[in-house]
Amino acid sequence: MSEFSTVLDMLSLAPHTVRHTLVLFSFAFMINYLVRTAYMSEGTRSVFVHVLVCVLTLLPAVILAGMLLLGAYRYPERSWMNPGIAALLYVPWYAGGALTRLARPDTEGADLGWLAMGALITFPIGFAVAIVFGRA
């Protein structure tokens, strides 16, 4: 099995890679928040850093929406289960934000408003593709 097909299996929430996917993306979402906070703290007056921080804020939601889309396309029988798996990944996303608040209490880490915006990106797409591809 090639590395490319392994990555596609992980991104599509394949049944045999779900645990590995949860671990990998949990780590990635937590690191994403820490990198976001590091940039926010160091480049306070930079327009580029501001745009990067805005992109990093909602990047996990966009990744999850893509995972739900790819997962429903490749494994339509699991399309109704995948939003639940995506919901599990919101826990480390929140935890990554909570970690940033330990280092910098003045940051927007673990902000429920941004997580809600992420949910508005992730879950309507997840349920729409489950309706289109799912076999209920």
The model's pLDDT over 86-98, given as tens digits with 9 standing for 90+, comes to: 999 999 988 888 8
How high is the pLDDT of residue 28?
Answer: 92
Of the CA atoms within 13 Å of residue 100, those in its CB half-sphere come to 25
- d(CA 51, CA 57) in angstroms, rounded, equals 10
Residue ranges of the alpha helices (H) in the chain?
3-11, 18-42, 47-74, 82-103, 112-133
Of the CA atoms within 13 Å of residue 101, those in its CB half-sphere come to 9
Which pair of structure tokens corresponds to residue 115? 């997580």
Residue ranges of the chain with per-residue pLDDT less than 70: 1, 109-110, 135-136
Which pair of structure tokens corresponds to residue 131? 């309706």
CB 58 within 8 A of CB 121: yes
CB 24 within 8 A of CB 10: yes
How high is the pLDDT of residue 81?
Answer: 93
Q: Residue 67 is part of which domain span? A: 3-133
Please give the tally of structural domains in the chain: 1
